[in-house]
Structures are given as C-alpha cells and as structure tokens.
Structure 1
C-alpha cells in the first residue's frame, strides 16, 4: 500500500512539473509576441519592422493618434471624413468641451493690463479649444499626436508627400531611431498658411517634391519667400520663422505639455501667433515643412460663408451651414484637393494672391 501511495505521489509530482513547464512555455511565447497597438505606430520607440517612411504613410500618418478639433458634426467634419476615406486616414474627433462665456471673456483679458494685445472673442474660443485638445493628448498618454482643425484639406497624394517628409525630417534632426520623424522636436508644423525663409535662420534642408504648389499659383503673405528663396518643385524643412495658422501640427508628449504651459498664459492676438512667437524664441522646438502640405478649405463666400472665428470676433454672421454642403469651395495651395475630389470629383485651387 505504501508503494502504491508513493507511485501516486510520484505521478502527481510529474503532472505538477508538466504544468509548470507548460506555464513557462506559454509565458515565453506570449512575452515575445509583438503587441498590438491600438493607436498606430507613432510611438517614441517604435518596434515596427516597417521602415520609418512606411510607418509615416499609415492611417495615422505615423503618429499615435490623428485628432480633429471640432465643436460638433457639420459640413466640416463630413468633408474631412470623405477626404480621409479617400486617402486612407483614420481621424478621431474627441467630444469638445463647451467653455463658458465667462471663461472665454476672462481669457481675452489676460495681459491687457500690461499693454498686451489679447485675442478677439472668437479667437479666444478657438485658442481654448486647442488647449483642450492638448489636455486630451496628455490625459490619454499619447506619445505623439497630430491635431488638425476640422476644415483642413490636403492633397490626394498626401501619403507620397508624407514619405518624403519622414525621410527629410529624420535627416534634419539626425534621427538614429526608427520612428517616422525622429523625436527631437516639440511641434512638427505641416499645415499652416505661411512661414518666413530668412538668411539668418539656422540651416535648412531642401528636398524635391513635384506635388508642391507652383509658386505662381500660391496664395498667401509668404509667397515672396518662395519666389525669392526656394526653387520650384522643392520644399524646405526648417525651424519655424513667423509661421502662422495651425491647420495641422504634430506634438510629442513632452511637446504637448510645453505648448500647454506656454500658451495657456494667453496674452497674444491668436493661438497660432502665440505658438509662432514661442517657436521663434526657441522656447519650443518647432520644425516646419514649407510650403505647407495642409490648408483650410473654404466654402464660397457668395454663399454666405464666414469662419466661426470671424463670427465670434464680431465681423458678421454666416449663412446656415447646410447651404455649404452642395456648393464647391476652394483650398489654397493644395494642387489636388482630397475634399473636392471626394465630394465633387474636381480640383478647387484658390486663385493665387500675395496676401
């Protein structure tokens, strides 16, 4: 009987050892499997086997999250979705908190007792909305994010453009990791309405991109810089010099916190102007692609369009949004608009101008 008990005990011990070995094998297998990433591959230390330029051409442009700033569904968000579906992008539109009028008015007044020029009411509301998106990025723990305004537009060849941007931003920052754009920046400014090119600025990096808007067709205050300082079919990667309009910009986690702390103090005429000034003073490390690859789409003005910022600043009233759904507008400096292709099967370049 004792012998039988010993045999049983021995059998139990063998089974126990087998269970332990099986558990160790399972742990090892699952420990070395690649983990899925719900937010794309734009992490600061990406382990993806894809090249950096191919990571940049994914559905989030190589960032952990693509975020669209929007107060509510409208022709803006519906047009953005149509353009994104056409190009193959995945935008997330967080619920935008409504800031009370008292907060907006108080923000307008910051610094005015010191002689600073504060924003108009509509500009202050837009400024606070951008700050709310930065708070969202920080709260969600994203390592990188790209923020666009909901009326943004881009070229149908955006993925080709972004591969070139990845190559050249990485070269510009001497990146040695495998992330799409390196990590040596706070703000990567791709969607704007102009940036200066000055002889005194730090070294730039010029690269060829034949999808770029021709200088003669460009509309905006910075046109003379392109004409005098940059040859056709080329873009510059440069530090930010007097960059304005925040149609689309990337932030790192650390960069989002720095922008929030610096721009949360108000005391300037607009969010983009304030960010540009902190870039120029090098309190923010800002990299700009010039000319831009994103701009804003505008419905036709004869249909009664006026931007929400201008309405909020007291410059008039806009027609009902529904009147803009079926009438094609224009996008400056984007040769083949994704919005207009998706919605109207057409191109819609804004007429050239110097302003």
Structure 2
C-alpha cells in the first residue's frame, strides 16, 4: 500500500501539467472559435437571408394587379403561386374610363393620357397606397401574367447578397465614416471606373436589420423588358456591378432575349461575358415595370412624385425618371436590378390578342406558351405539377 501511495505522489505533477496544457490549448481554441463566430454573426452573416424562403420571398406582401374580367390570368397565376408556395394579395386593375382627369397631377397644358395609361397608373398607385397606408416594410408588386424560375428563392438569395454588397456599408471600426464596396455609392461620381465584384468573393458588410435585401433601397426592379448597364462614362449612376458566373438559371447567350434596342442588358451579356453570367447593378434606363419590389420609404416617395406632384407619362417611364434622377423629379430613388431579370411576361398558348389589355395585336395563334430568359418556367411546368411529375422542362436547354 505504501509503495502504491509513493508511486501516486511521483506521477501526478507530470500528468497534471499535461492535462492543464491540453485544457489550455482546448479552451484557447474554443475561445478563438467563439470570438470568430460572434464576429461572423455580427458583421458577416445576413441573418435575414432565410426570410426569402417564406411565402412572400422575404417581402412583407406580394401584390398582384389583375383586371377582374381577366379571370383566365387569375386562374393561372393562382395555380403558379400555389406550386411555388407563394401567398398573393390581389389589387383590382382599373379601367381608365373610371379615372377622372382631375385626379391626375398634370402640369398646365399637359395633354391628358389615354384611358389605358390612366388605368395602369391608378392600379399601381392603389398598390403603393396600400403599402404606405398599412406600413408594410416592403412589398413585391407584379402584373398578373408573370413567369419565374422554379429556383426563384435560390436566385433571390444570391440577388440579396449582391444587393447588400452594393448598398450596405462595409464593416468598419466605430467612429469612422461609412464606406462602401462601390465607391460611387451613395453619391455617383464622375470617375471613369466601374467597380466589379465577383460572387462569391464578396466583401464583408454590416448585415441588414430591416430586409434581407439590405436597408438602403427604394426599388428592386426584378421584372423588366430591358435594362441598360451603367458604363464608365455614366456620371448619373453608381457603377458597382456584382458578377455571377456559371449561373445555371441563365440561358446560354444564344437564347438571351431583350426588347430593349440598345447595346446594354442581355445584348452586352452575349458579347462581353461568358455563358450563363448574371449581373446585379443599379437600374439604368429600365423598360417595363412587370415586377418590382418597393420599400416603405420607396412607396412613399413614388406616391408623392407620381400621385401628388407630377404625372408625366406611362407608369414605367415615370419610375424610370425617378431611378435615373431626371430633372423633372424632386426625388431620386435607389434602384437595383438583375440582368437578365427574374420575372418575365408569360405568353400563353392561344390567340396573341390575349397578351395585352392595352396594346392592339393581330390575334395570331400561338401553339405553345413561352417566356423569355426563364429556364425552369413555373408556367411551362404547370401540367407536370398537376400530374405529379417531377422532371421539369427546360425552355432553354444548353446546346
């Protein structure tokens, strides 16, 4: 027994030293990990990003404008939203004949708009009015003929990371002036330089606290017919661009389509960038307002400028005036977009006259429905959803 006690007295210091050293290294390692995790959560993680997986894509509401007589469009949109797990709120479209001229904020000697333009303007004003009145932090406004990719949430999460890169301040020490990854934001400058940032090599920004898309935007132009890209000589817009290479949801360059007759937008994507590239940047000379999100501050600004202060032209042109900061406007909006867009007009099978309630068409027959720049189209695959099939049709397979 005594021998055993002496043996115990000799060995413990060695074991104790080793145990203490091991514990010290382990605790130090764990401490560094926890400090690293706290830093990542505090500065680098967009904890709101998962909100995009909800039924309103990270916005507070989704509004869809629909003329009550277009029950065909409401049927199709309801089905598409159901299979995409989206919750829609309907805004009645307005007949221009019910909008008195005296309700338009026209300037002296300004020719009143036609009935179709007047009705479109009022329907969008009603949606913006609802957002403002109910204090919604943000909302997505869509026309009732929109199509989107089945991977929309995945697309918008990446878009959110791109937008926050462009509008959220970089991580900085306390007391210092806020700086941004794009040095031309928030005030555009005359420097002939475009700041390009490649995903996923994004800088660390202060995470947003209001929206997964950032806290400093007015419009996210998610659906359009065409859009220019700020160039080196552009002095009116911030010129930061986030580039997404190898985006499998983008058609090959041969299938990229745009209604914008210029060298910008998808035309430039075909020329200057590799296959399957997507760009996220500040909106510049946009055409069509088929799907756009507004923040609460954006809704208030638009309602003031277009509903109270000055009516100038078609609704989408007036939004462009605000995003481009044209001289007839008191307010300039922070507007961001994607090339190509995430939403597109769906042209249904049948007579072309169904495509628009505004423009006159020849009424020719279309054998198969289609949309531009949308690969795994939710509209194209509605039949597969209904039949319970799981292999999606690709409108623009690689070739």
TM, length-normalised to structure 2: 0.65
In structure 2, the residue matched to 1:299 is: 348
Shift of 1:230: 3.8
In structure 2, the residue matched to 1:187 is: 219
In structure 1, the residue matched to 2:88 is: 91
Q: Which moved more, 1:65-74 or 1:333-342?
A: 65-74
Q: Which has the higher contact order (CA 8 A, sep 6+)?
A: 1
Structure with higher Rg: it is: 2
User: C-alpha offsets along residues 69-121 of structure 1, whole Å, 9 cap, x if unaligned?
Assistant: 11226121211121112222111214x2756626255578934825x7x6432
Preserved contact between residue 131 and residue 260 of structure 1 (Cα < 8 Å): yes
Preserved contact between residue 79 and residue 343 of structure 1 (Cα < 8 Å): no
Q: Which moved more, 1:69-78 or 1:162-171?
A: 69-78
Aligned: 1:276 with 2:320: yes
Shift of 1:289: 1.6
Aligned counterpart for 1:204 among listed residues 238, 241, 245 = 241
Q: Residues 80 and 285 of structure 1: is their aligned pair in 2 closer, same or farther, counting only changes over 3 Å?
A: same
Q: Which moved more, 1:268-277 or 1:201-210?
A: 201-210
User: C-alpha offsets along residues 30-54 of structure 1, whole Å, 9 cap, x if unaligned?
Assistant: xxxxxxxxxxxxxxxxxxx993322
In structure 2, the residue matched to 1:226 is: 269
User: C-alpha offsets along residues 272-310 of structure 1, whole Å, 9 cap, x if unaligned?
Assistant: 111012101171111112210001112246454240121
Q: Residues 102 and 247 of structure 1: is their aligned pair in 2 closer, same or farther, counting only changes over 3 Å?
A: closer
Aligned: 1:338 with 2:378: yes
Shift of 1:60: 0.7
RMSD: 3.1
2:109 alignment partner, SS class: helix
CA distance in 1, matches of 2:346, 2:100: 26
Aligned: 1:177 with 2:173: no
1:1-355 matches, cutoff 5 A: 51-72=47-68, 74-94=71-91, 96=92, 98=94, 101=97, 103=99, 105=101, 110-111=106-107, 113-114=109-110, 119-174=113-168, 175-178=206-209, 179-199=211-231, 200=234, 201=237, 202-208=239-245, 209-220=247-258, 221=260, 222-264=265-307, 265=309, 267-281=311-325, 283-300=332-349, 302=351, 304-310=353-359, 315=360, 328-343=368-383, 347=393, 349=395
In structure 2, the residue matched to 1:353 is: none
Shift of 1:124: 2.0
Shift of 1:242: 0.6
User: C-alpha offsets along residues 13-45 of structure 1, whole Å, 9 cap, x if unaligned?
Assistant: xxxxxxxxxxxxxxxxxxxxxxxxxxxxxxxxx
1:66 alignment partner, SS class: strand
Which is richer in helix?
1
CA distance in 2, matches of 1:255, 1:303: 35
CA distance in 1, matches of 2:226, 2:108: 28
2:50 alignment partner, SS class: helix
TM, length-normalised to structure 1: 0.73
CA distance in 2, matches of 1:172, 1:50: 14
Q: Residues 107 and 216 of structure 1: is their aligned pair in 2 closer, same or farther, counting only changes over 3 Å?
A: farther
Q: Which moved more, 1:137-146 or 1:258-267?
A: 258-267
Q: Residues 89 and 210 of structure 1: is their aligned pair in 2 closer, same or farther, counting only changes over 3 Å?
A: same
CA distance in 2, matches of 1:300, 1:120: 29
CA distance in 2, matches of 1:299, 1:92: 22
Q: Which moved more, 1:224-233 or 1:255-264?
A: 224-233
Preserved contact between residue 284 and residue 323 of structure 2 (Cα < 8 Å): yes
User: C-alpha offsets along residues 315-354 of structure 1, whole Å, 9 cap, x if unaligned?
Assistant: 36979xxx99xx742111111110121146675859xxxx
